[in-house]
Structure 1
Amino acid sequence: MPLYQSQDIKIYNSISGEKETFKPINEGHIGMYVCGPTVYSNVHLGNVRTFMSFDMIFRYLKHLGYKVRYVRNITDAGHLENDADTGEDKITKKARLEQIEPMEVVQRYTVDFHNILNTFNFLPPSIEPTATGHIIEQIELIKDIIDNGFAYEINGSVYFDVHKFNETNEYGKLSKRKLEDLIHNTRELDGQSDKKNPQDFALWKKAEPQHIMRWPSPWGDGFPGWHLECTAMSTKYLGDRFDIHGGGMDLKFPHHECEIAQNEAAKGESPVNYWMHANMLELNGQRMSKTTGNIVNPQELLSGDNTFFSKAFAPSVIRFFIAQAHYRSVLDLTNDGLLASEKGFNRLMEAINLLDGLKTSDASSINVNNWKQKCYDAMNDDFNSPVLIAHLFEAVKYINQIKDESATITTQDLEVLKTTIHNFVFDVLGLQSQSSTTNNSNKSEDKLSNIVELLINMRQEARANKDFKLSDQIRDELAEIGIQLKDGKDGTTFTVN
């Protein structure tokens, strides 16, 4: 019997504002869509937190025995500056600034995105569609919305008619915003004169002559609206109605609100049963911002090459830190917080390493099955990872008591303890053991040593050929990156600063 049949999950549904008992549309199967990155820059640490939250949720649902189709898209066109209907495409702007092709930008930052997520031990999604790979589906979706009377074409662009839609539907039900309030708070902006109303949003935008990323359509050459892309990709792979849609809190309005409106306008039904939103990540009590300099990217946090933190932190320590806060709560990233998480992570791993050496007895003085269910109860309560971690540290206490012989455990209960800890620490939370981290670190150090030794040999060969310019260049450029060469009677050695 699959585990999910004995566990009742409650999910906080953003659209109702309440925790609801989770019931998938098709028993044993779950469709989950999460809005992925717009690949015009290195992935933001706040985005990593969001994707890490849904990676943990994906892992837990799979652990329970569900067959999960997890779709997380790549936005590689159509996302304009300031998340608006005017301005330059973010990817095109980056390409113009760097004087490269837009798809070079897409490739560079998609690779960066995957590398960072792999470093943090993410599971890959089931499907990772791109916006540019689904232009036909988006055009067909626009046709349906126009045919149903909820969109209009003007001067080669197509806009969603929010006022018309609101006559028979409720625009704003996810974000709890009333159209009347939006009208009152909206000012007319330059470049929006084509719209009937400022609240209307673009489904298809006419491409100006200088716009590089463009596709033919019934309305002329153009490109899709950002909101439309996710509606097309989610429904193509998960159906017109699916179980879970996730993303960051900042996407609730207008992005997810527009997704709901588009689907209802095209298909006549709301697309999602459970809307889930991960909260923001702050740095030292303030919002991360490039303009204020209050920002650190994932690679800087991993390498220690930043001014905010006293040292580098391992990926699993950062992952453990993030899991110590509920996904719906604001998380403040601080040096003290990471140092405390590192100590906690090490304590947890040290206890796990003791498991194989524990002695068993004829009777257990601890109730392992009760503790095991408490771990499940925590995750069943809207994926409450901080409460789960608190229960895992109860197990740390048990392990140390058994080691010190102040508590006893049977062979059978010890196996339950081992299996449960492994399931939740490694499979659900996605942490990696110290040995894995150490092995990876040792491999990296070995590779570095081999590379430096190769350069030392090249330098020696250059000196033997009296090519002192090359010899000095190798020494000086290694010094610039913190690798000091020292020549001695027994040869050349190096140190890393």
Structure 2
Amino acid sequence: MKQHQLKIHNTLSREKETFEPINPPFVGMYVCGPTVYGDAHLGHARPAVTFDTVNRYLSHLGYRVRYVRNITDVGHLQGDADEGEDKIAKKAKLEQLEPMEVAQQYTDTYHRDMELLNTLKPNIEPRATGHIPEQIALVQAILDEGLAYEVNGSVYFDVLKYNEREQYGKLSGRILDELVSGTRDLDGQGEKRNPVDFALWKNAAPEHLMKWESPWGIGFPGWHLECTAMSSKYLGKQFDIHGGGMDLMFPHHECEIAQGNACNHQDPAKYWMHNNMITINGQKMGKSLGNFITLQELFTGNHKLLEQAYSPMTIRYFILTAHYRSTLDFSNDALKAAQKGYKKIINGLRIAKSLAYNPDESVQPDAEQIKQLENSITYAYRAMDDDFNTAQAIGHLFNILKKINSLYTGQLHAAQFGKEMFDKMIQTYVVFVEKILGLKEEKSDNQDALLDLLLKMYTDAKTARNYAKVDEIRAGLKNIGIVVKDMKEKIDWAYEE
């Protein structure tokens, strides 16, 4: 860890800061997970891959990460506001199911898609409904601080009174006076002292499906409250990193900061990280625009905007080719380019694992080659240390891959690097691809055995000068994305790029 000076762009300070954990080598990281009322889509994929990579890299540096990602299964109302129907309850009514059936169904499909994207499971994955007592206790603590008030069985956070002690809006840069002047007194919000106040606990109407007893009557928790309750329970009153999409910065994360300061007298997280948004062919994704694409639709190609299916690893690779704080536009051209890049990386992985160091006293170490390799390795790590810049890291990884491919084709000899640098090159490439970037080879069951058999048939046909059969096998493999490589010393295969 001492060799790396990791810098993280902190949304709170709007600057890159040197990462200094509160209690090294332990790192606490909380990331807002999905509201489980529908299938996972592209908007879920980006934060999942982003913070999985953060988790992977921190672990690679030697930190002991406790990664907490919640499941929202109550309290998230339509429009992300304090009025309207619960998103899960609404889905339950439409499908004539219990709300928990809906939550379980889409939690399961979310897990399925996250596994396909090769994201590591969080250490703890708490659900909002499993932490109602903790949320009630938080509401009471904020009331005791004089920063909330109860009206008709609902409890609201008093933003104006809080702002007398702390700055509301410091994360998002919102100015409270402008928020107040720009907010109309909407229907159903008349019981609030001020429209900018937000619900900590909502009184439940008789027809409301998801409700619990509380000191203020039967109701349910506000959306923002659950993350404060669960993060503080599992990571403490202040932890290292809070992550999520940029769309959560306001009001969700802003309200979390207010709640944390109100009851714990400190910001909940030291570093706030936000991934940027995605677009589809230059447009914001939305059901009304007809460009809403689920992950399963991407994986199967079953959507009118898709020209083909794109594998989970292609999607993961594509997400990693942009810095997490930049926008990312999904288009067929961009995804096809990502598919090609991913296959190059994985072909390199196969080759790297197959190479062995062969000493040759007639070959001298090449100082220039060694220097180029050392620089590529240094720059790859330097990119990751610079706010997890996977895009730049991948560029340097391709420079390492050029050396690996040249060794494979015989243009370079392992002895030109010496055993120490040769081993370092192979190890760095494999670790970056598999452990840090989380990419893996996608292959079907028995693929290796089948390819070995076909290559033997190809070799036998070539030896027998049966060129019709040679062409038939080559064409058949090409149809399934496999290229036969005729080399001086052997016949091999690679994924078509």
Tell me which interval the TM-score lies in, with the shorter structure as reference length.
0.7 to 0.9
Alpha-carbon separation, structure 2, partners of 1:249 and 1:374 = 28
Query: Among residues 384, 387, 391, which one is paired with 1:386 in the alignment?
Result: 391
Alignment partner of 1:16 is 2:21: no
Cα displacement string for residues 277-327 of structure 1 (whole angstroms, at most 9, x for unaligned residues): 001111111111101111211111111112222221221111111100000
Alignment partner of 1:78 is 2:75: yes
Q: Is the 8 A contact 2:370 2:421 kept in 1?
A: no
Alpha-carbon separation, structure 1, partners of 2:154 and 2:145 = 17
1:143-158 matched pairs, under 5 angstroms:
143-158=140-155
Alignment partner of 1:96 is 2:101: no
Which moved further from structure 2: 171-180 or 413-422? 413-422
Tell me the equivalent position of 2:378.
373
Give the drift of 1:404: 4.2
Alignment partner of 1:191 is 2:188: yes
Tell me the equivalent position of 2:238.
241
Partner amino acid, structure 1, of 2:134: E
Give the drift of 1:442: 5.7
Partner amino acid, structure 1, of 2:376: W
Alpha-carbon separation, structure 1, partners of 2:405 and 2:55 = 32
Tell me the equivalent position of 1:422.
430
Partner amino acid, structure 2, of 1:395: I
Alpha-carbon separation, structure 2, partners of 1:390 and 1:291 = 37
1:50-61 matched pairs, under 5 angstroms:
50-61=47-58
Alpha-carbon separation, structure 1, partners of 2:25 and 2:141 = 32
Query: Among residues 309, 317, 323, which one is paired with 1:326 in the alignment?
Result: 323
Alignment partner of 1:315 is 2:312: yes
1:324-473 matched pairs, under 5 angstroms:
324-355=321-352, 356-357=354-355, 359=358, 361=360, 362-364=364-366, 365-367=369-371, 368-407=373-412, 408-433=416-441, 437-440=442-445
Q: Is the 8 A contact 1:160 1:201 kept in 2?
A: yes
Give the drift of 1:371: 2.4
Give the drift of 1:366: 2.4
Change (3 A) 1:182 1:320: same
Alignment partner of 1:250 is 2:258: no
Q: Please, which runs of 5 or more residues in structure 2 have no aligned partner?
A: 451-497
Give the drift of 1:240: 0.4
Give the drift of 1:90: 0.5
Give the drift of 1:353: 2.3
Tell me the equivalent position of 1:125.
122
SS of match in other structure, 1:53: helix
Q: Is the 8 A contact 1:402 1:409 kept in 2?
A: no
Alpha-carbon separation, structure 1, partners of 2:128 and 2:152 = 23
Cα displacement string for residues 201-246 of structure 1 (whole angstroms, at most 9, x for unaligned residues): 0000001000111100000000000000000000100000000000
- Aligned positions, number: 438
SS of match in other structure, 1:439: coil
Tell me the equivalent position of 1:450.
none
Change (3 A) 1:134 1:440: farther
Alpha-carbon separation, structure 2, partners of 1:34 and 1:441 = 37
Q: Is the 8 A contact 2:377 2:400 kept in 1?
A: no
Alignment partner of 1:171 is 2:168: yes
TM-score by length of 1: 0.86
Give the drift of 1:354: 2.4
Give the drift of 1:401: 2.7
SS of match in other structure, 1:391: helix
Change (3 A) 1:352 1:44: closer
Alpha-carbon separation, structure 2, partners of 1:22 and 1:396 = 30
Tell me the equivalent position of 1:460.
none
Change (3 A) 1:115 1:440: farther
Cα displacement string for residues 224-282 of structure 1 (whole angstroms, at most 9, x for unaligned residues): 00000000000100000000000000000000000000010111111110000001111
Give the drift of 1:360: 5.1
SS of match in other structure, 1:86: coil
Tell me the equivalent position of 2:482.
none
Give the drift of 1:108: 0.5
Tell me the equivalent position of 1:489.
none
Alpha-carbon separation, structure 1, partners of 2:209 and 2:151 = 21
Partner amino acid, structure 1, of 2:185: E
Q: Is the 8 A contact 1:192 1:198 kept in 2?
A: yes
Tell me the equivalent position of 1:207.
204
Q: Is the 8 A contact 2:346 2:440 kept in 1?
A: no
Give the drift of 1:405: 4.1
Q: Is the 8 A contact 1:9 1:381 kept in 2?
A: yes
Alpha-carbon separation, structure 1, partners of 2:396 and 2:168 = 42
SS of match in other structure, 1:366: helix
SS of match in other structure, 2:224: helix
Partner amino acid, structure 2, of 1:409: F
Alpha-carbon separation, structure 1, partners of 2:207 and 2:347 = 59
Tell me the equivalent position of 1:486.
none
Alignment partner of 1:68 is 2:65: yes
Give the drift of 1:409: 2.4
SS of match in other structure, 1:328: coil
Alpha-carbon separation, structure 1, partners of 2:131 and 2:246 = 25
Q: Is the 8 A contact 1:148 1:265 kept in 2?
A: yes
Partner amino acid, structure 2, of 1:410: G
SS of match in other structure, 1:168: coil
Cα displacement string for residues 111-137 of structure 1 (whole angstroms, at most 9, x for unaligned residues): 010000011111000000000000000
Q: Is the 8 A contact 2:28 2:67 kept in 1?
A: yes
Partner amino acid, structure 2, of 1:178: I
SS of match in other structure, 2:263: helix
Alpha-carbon separation, structure 1, partners of 2:124 and 2:242 = 14
Which moved further from structure 2: 150-159 or 314-323? 314-323
Partner amino acid, structure 1, of 2:430: H
Alignment partner of 1:26 is 2:28: no
Change (3 A) 1:238 1:294: same
Partner amino acid, structure 2, of 1:240: K
Cα displacement string for residues 354-385 of structure 1 (whole angstroms, at most 9, x for unaligned residues): 23236555524323333222111110000000
Give the drift of 1:186: 0.4
